Copies of this chain bind each other. A is one copy, B any other.
Amino acid sequence: MIDSSSQTIDNNSAHDDKTLSGQTTVALREAIIKGEIAPGEKLNEPKLAEQFQVSRGPLREAIRRLVAMRLVRHVPHVGATVVTLELNSILELYDVREALEGKAAALAAENMSEEDIAKLRALLELHRQHSQENPGEYMQTEGDFDFHYQIIKGSGNRLLTDQLCDELYHLIRMFRFQTSRFKSRSNRALIEHEQLIYAIEQRDPQLAEMLMRKHIARAKASIRDALNDSETGSLDQP
């Protein structure tokens, strides 16, 4: 077992929030991420309150939290709508990821404990094994972020971790859900993860940062190519 909070990636500051607002937040969040509420769709407060069996108060609070997570946009006196992830937003997201996770990798190379590094390598071997047995499986995407998640946490920077794991993570999840038909090149990711962990083991912050940045930049490029080819401008509409 890697960590007490490793399989529950969701820490979201609401992991132990038994309050109605908290529960409604995760329910609404998941509904949006899974596409049960379509991108661009308007969030009708009375309707959703009825649907989630809560009053409008907690529902409004949930909406505000999702606004902070950038899953929802809000205009005063008009209402809230689910964000639409056009290609441009995705590319912007990956630029931010590159900057933040690159720094996280550098800090991880400096601050991560030897045990945590060992656990990280164990996790990588697990993914490699799984990938060999069932090639092209779902785990690579979840597992991929598992790996990144451990490095981010290994940075020891709380602000960085919160920004990446509480806010941006759910945006990434939403995007992956919408484009799950595209299977990612998991072999390449595995190789790059291997290089990355080696840099961390060598305690080389600059190399770790460079490798992480290139890793994410390549993912970004591959997304741009895939989406440019496949849709030719006609994928992102609902």
Interface residues of A (CB under 8 A from B): 13, 17-19, 22, 57, 60-61, 64-65, 67-68, 70, 74, 76-77, 89, 92-93, 95-96, 98-100, 102-103, 107, 157-160, 162-163
Q: CB within 8 A of A100: which of B67, B89, B93, B100?
A: B100
A61: chain B residues at CB < 8 Å are 60-61, 64
Once the chains bind, are B99 and A159 in contact (CB under 8 Å)?
Answer: no
| Bound CA–CA A236/B211 (angstroms) | 33
Once the chains bind, are B100 and A96 in contact (CB under 8 Å)?
Answer: yes
Once the chains bind, are A76 and B22 in contact (CB under 8 Å)?
Answer: yes
A96: chain B residues at CB < 8 Å are 100, 103, 157, 159-160, 163
| Bound CA–CA A57/B64 (angstroms) | 13
| Bound CA–CA A95/B157 (angstroms) | 9
Once the chains bind, are B65 and A159 in contact (CB under 8 Å)?
Answer: no
20 more CB-based (< 8 A) A-B contacts, given A67-B68, A100-B100: A17-B76, A18-B76, A60-B61, A61-B64, A64-B64, A64-B65, A70-B162, A92-B157, A92-B158, A92-B159, A93-B159, A95-B103, A95-B107, A95-B157, A95-B159, A96-B103, A99-B99, A99-B102, A99-B103, A99-B160
Once the chains bind, are B159 and A89 in contact (CB under 8 Å)?
Answer: yes
| Bound CA–CA A22/B74 (angstroms) | 12
